[in-house]
Structure 1
Amino acid sequence: MTGPARRIQRIYLTLTLGNTLAASFIWGINTLFLLDAGLSNLEAFAANAFFTAGMVLFEVPTGVIADGWGRRVSFLLGTVTLAVSTYLYYLLWQFSSPFWMWAVVSVLLGLGFTFFSGAVEAWLVDALRFSGYEGGLEAVLGRGQMVQGIAMLAGSVAGGVIAQATNLGVPFLLRVGVLLAMFVVAFWLMRDVGFTPERSSHPLRATRAVLSASIENGLKNPPVRYVMLAAPFGAGVGIYVFYALQPYLLELFGDPRAYSVAGLAAAMVAGSQVLGGWLAPRVRRLVHKRTTVLILSSIVGAVILVALGFTRVFWVALVLLALWALVASAGTPVRQAYLNDMIASKQRATVLSFDSLMGSTGGVVVQPLLGRSADVYGYAASLAIGGVVELIAVPFLLASRRQRPRADEYSDSGSAPSPSQ
């Protein structure tokens, strides 16, 4: 790796560390926070569904902003939007606000995250290529996931412990503070390298042009399309499982106010992310095709969720949770690298945002349905049902594999394949 490439990687890891730390302060206690505010299980997961609905609504528009106005601009807008909407969430909890207010602010939270999705990853890939980096993306993206895991480990444990020592609202205020600090860091460190934003005096015309090109490079590109179509099932179930595990584990533990246990669950996911990020490039070298990793990850993850549905022992559930997170984490950098090697630079952020949109769409539908199943049948049954839903992604991944794209066989050595191939 060249000197400029190392600098790009350091900036990427710094931004990833700060953003994940900020977000993870509430990940271990978010569902408990919503329930403490007086929402039912259905309403709590419906609020999460409105959050993902916000991501669905704004993914492509914010992706267009990243491609048309710059990935740095998109990141800065994201920090401000997410800080403001998080503080509004805190106020809703303070005043025990009605559900419709939670729904509105959840949509704004989704908007905040869409400024990051696609933009940061697109910034990294284009800057690395411009700086002369020709290796596989799994290694760098895997390091990013390891940093995410470390930040999540620290943030989720701290959030759970702080919530237990103070109250459930304090971790949300901590998130606001770190996000504002990240605005300052990104303002000084982040520059668009290897990519020139094409700002237009006709924003609607420019939006249509970028969106049209993105569809051409995304949904109309068969191997990319099938990976995107698999996203609603894997991502939708993953979002639900992460948040449902908090009350589920507390139920198994026997103490509904043991918030540190909920933080421990998120911390175990974080630790699995670290190990998964380290394993990703190594697992990739063991198989001939990237899609092999993706397919096996979906199948094994689904089986583990079904097993979780039949578990009544707290420590066994924790072990299964760690295995589920490890399998998912090892597959994530491989999936990211597979997509990026099939996408052209000019539409990279928008196409990646569209992919995130597809995953969020699954969250909009899957979360309230599984949340309702938790109300009727219990959390354990809802996890098993989630495992069955995740298996629906497998046929789409097989369809992508059958297109035989060069990116499927790309290894850590050599130059990157052309996105057009």
Structure 2
Amino acid sequence: MGFVPQLRAGTDSEAMNPAARKVQRIYLTLTLGNTLAASFIWGINTLFLLDAGLSNLEAFAANAFFTAGMVLFEVPTGVVADGWGRRVSFLLGTATLAVSTLLYYLLWQLSAAFWAWAVVSVLLGLGFTFFSGAVEAWLVDALHFSGYDGALETVLGRGQMISGTAMLIGSVAGGAIAQATDLGVPFLLRVGVLLAMFGVALWLMHDVGFTPEHSARPLQATRAVLAASIENGLKNPPVRYVMLAAPFTAGVGIYVFYALQPFLLELFGDRGAYGIAGLAAAIVAGAEVLGGWLAPRFRRLVRKRTTVLILSGAVSAVILVALGFTREFWVALVLLAVWALVAEVGTPVGQAYLNDMIDSRQRATVLSFASLTGSSGGVVVQPLLGRAADVYGYSASLAVSGVIQLAAVPFLYASRRQRAAADEAHGR
């Protein structure tokens, strides 16, 4: 398999030429707009589903159908990104997500049956799969083409900081707007911003450093790219073990993020305080900003990237167990902030680790395949933990989620033992 040329040592200011700066600006603009649009509902999504008449089991089952949609469509949309272009994939994602979000709003208005929520949740998953892998692949190839000579963690960390800032603004605004109006208005705001981002991407985003390979036979292309992604992914031991860890970390992460909304309202003592639910997402967003800033700095303190990943996975799991035994609202907020920060420090490092082991021709598809493995965990974990919340309460479900996440650590250690060059790489 081919590898991305390794970043050599050097400061980011020396490496970031004008062309690379332009690529970075476009990437950060797309990240800002998309995350802002998405995050309007992140602080109140579970409350929105419960308000529509769904039980905890049904609400998290709806989320599971969302992740099932991601599992189902990750590879086909990866083929779109690698075969038709990352720009085309991004545009399709904004359009699909805008339409499916509007349908979600209509289901809430109609107090629709669960099956309708399941169908539209799958469409939401489809929308997000057009983004997963495509934007990151576009960035890495465009930076390589522009002659960028710095660390991937630096740019990816900045992207995470911008994403966290947008999430902070969007989640707080979404919670405040929901409390001032109703739970449906943030969904309409998301639709409006997504339509605006369609225009921005149409204007700014162009595939550079990558030539799409169009195919007149999409099913044959899907099989070929899937085979290549398996060859470069599951059959590549250090990548395979990271993928096998993903169902535990990603599956738990999705559940915890949405379960924190009703959990904090329960501790706070006012189930109508939607601003508090937005606060949970805002804390995660702030941790994302700080984690993106800390990631490249923490990375320089250790020799291997997997050290960061193992510590991040283990410590955040322990914090979740502690959070499950917490009965004080303010203590829960502190533990939430620490959990999110520890988890977010590992995100850019993990992204850089995978990207340095993937060939450019299958980058979007392999990254999408990696996302697929994480989403598959969410399909199973969310309804199980949602049912645990129905029977034993949110606290118990959070403690159980921490135990489940610990199962990822042995796989990350197995990846470390493969001694991949990317594990010690500091530059391209």
TM-score in terms of structure 2 length: 0.96
Q: Please state how far the C-alpha of 1:214 moved relative to its aligned partner.
A: 1.4
What does 1:285-296 align with in structure 2 at a 5 Å threshold? 285-296=300-311
The alignment status of 1:404 with 2:404, answered yes or no, reads: no
Q: Please state how far the C-alpha of 1:204 moved relative to its aligned partner.
A: 2.2
1:54 equivalent in structure 2:
69
Q: Please state how far the C-alpha of 1:43 moved relative to its aligned partner.
A: 0.3
1:228 equivalent in structure 2:
243
What does 1:130-141 align with in structure 2 at a 5 Å threshold? 130-141=145-156
After superposition, the C-alpha distances for 1:153-196 in whole angstroms (9 at most, x for unaligned) are 00000000000000000000000000000000000000001000
Q: Please state how far the C-alpha of 1:407 moved relative to its aligned partner.
A: 0.2
Provide the rounded CA distance (Å) in 2 between the counterparts of 1:108 and 1:27.
Answer: 17
1:14 corresponds, among 4, 8, 29, to 29
Provide the rounded CA distance (Å) in 2 between the counterparts of 1:205 and 1:241.
Answer: 38
The alignment status of 1:325 with 2:340, answered yes or no, reads: yes
Q: Please state how far the C-alpha of 1:213 moved relative to its aligned partner.
A: 1.3
1:365 equivalent in structure 2:
380
After superposition, the C-alpha distances for 1:7-56 in whole angstroms (9 at most, x for unaligned) are 00000000000000000000000000000000000000000000000000
Provide the rounded CA distance (Å) in 1 between the counterparts of 2:253 and 2:217.
Answer: 39
1:94 equivalent in structure 2:
109
Q: Please state how far the C-alpha of 1:205 moved relative to its aligned partner.
A: 2.2
Provide the rounded CA distance (Å) in 1 between the counterparts of 2:207 and 2:278.
Answer: 36
Q: Please state how far the C-alpha of 1:396 moved relative to its aligned partner.
A: 0.5
Is the contact between residue 176 and residue 274 of structure 2 (CA under 8 Å) also seen in structure 1?
Answer: yes
Q: Please state how far the C-alpha of 1:105 moved relative to its aligned partner.
A: 0.2
Provide the rounded CA distance (Å) in 1 between the counterparts of 2:273 and 2:144.
Answer: 47
- AA matched with 2:262: P
2:300 aligns to what SS in structure 1? helix
1:180 equivalent in structure 2:
195
1:67 equivalent in structure 2:
82
1:339 aligns to what SS in structure 2? helix
1:107 corresponds, among 115, 118, 122, to 122
1:356 equivalent in structure 2:
371
1:269 corresponds, among 256, 259, 284, to 284
Is the contact between residue 75 and residue 222 of structure 2 (CA under 8 Å) also seen in structure 1?
Answer: no
1:110 aligns to what SS in structure 2? helix
- AA matched with 1:7: K
2:371 aligns to what SS in structure 1? helix
1:286 aligns to what SS in structure 2? coil
The alignment status of 1:157 with 2:169, answered yes or no, reads: no
- AA matched with 2:211: T
Q: Which runs of 5+ in 2 are unaligned?
A: 1-15
Is the contact between residue 79 and residue 365 of structure 2 (CA under 8 Å) also seen in structure 1?
Answer: yes
2:398 equivalent in structure 1:
383
- AA matched with 1:268: I
Provide the rounded CA distance (Å) in 2 between the counterparts of 1:200 and 1:110.
Answer: 25
Alpha-carbon RMSD across the aligned residues, in angstroms, is: 0.6
After superposition, the C-alpha distances for 1:268-320 in whole angstroms (9 at most, x for unaligned) are 11001000000000010000000000000011000100000110000000010
Provide the rounded CA distance (Å) in 1 between the counterparts of 2:79 and 2:203.
Answer: 23
2:331 equivalent in structure 1:
316
After superposition, the C-alpha distances for 1:314-365 in whole angstroms (9 at most, x for unaligned) are 0000010000000111000000000000000000000000000000000000
Q: Please state how far the C-alpha of 1:67 moved relative to its aligned partner.
A: 0.3
Kindly tell me the number of residue pairs found equivalent between the two proteins.
413
1:302 equivalent in structure 2:
317
Provide the rounded CA distance (Å) in 1 between the counterparts of 2:59 and 2:293.
Answer: 34
1:147 equivalent in structure 2:
162
Provide the rounded CA distance (Å) in 1 between the counterparts of 2:337 and 2:153.
Answer: 22
Q: Please state how far the C-alpha of 1:235 moved relative to its aligned partner.
A: 0.3
Provide the rounded CA distance (Å) in 1 between the counterparts of 2:360 and 2:263.
Answer: 43
Provide the rounded CA distance (Å) in 2 between the counterparts of 1:248 and 1:42.
Answer: 15
2:112 aligns to what SS in structure 1? coil
- AA matched with 1:350: T
Q: Which runs of 5+ in 1 are unaligned?
A: 417-421
1:342 corresponds, among 345, 357, 366, to 357
1:419 equivalent in structure 2:
none
Q: Please state how far the C-alpha of 1:210 moved relative to its aligned partner.
A: 1.7
Q: Please state how far the C-alpha of 1:203 moved relative to its aligned partner.
A: 2.2
Provide the rounded CA distance (Å) in 1 between the counterparts of 2:222 and 2:400.
Answer: 39
State which drifts further: 132-141 or 146-155: 132-141
Provide the rounded CA distance (Å) in 1 between the counterparts of 2:330 and 2:284.
Answer: 14
Q: Please state how far the C-alpha of 1:411 moved relative to its aligned partner.
A: 1.2
Provide the rounded CA distance (Å) in 1 between the counterparts of 2:244 and 2:96.
Answer: 29
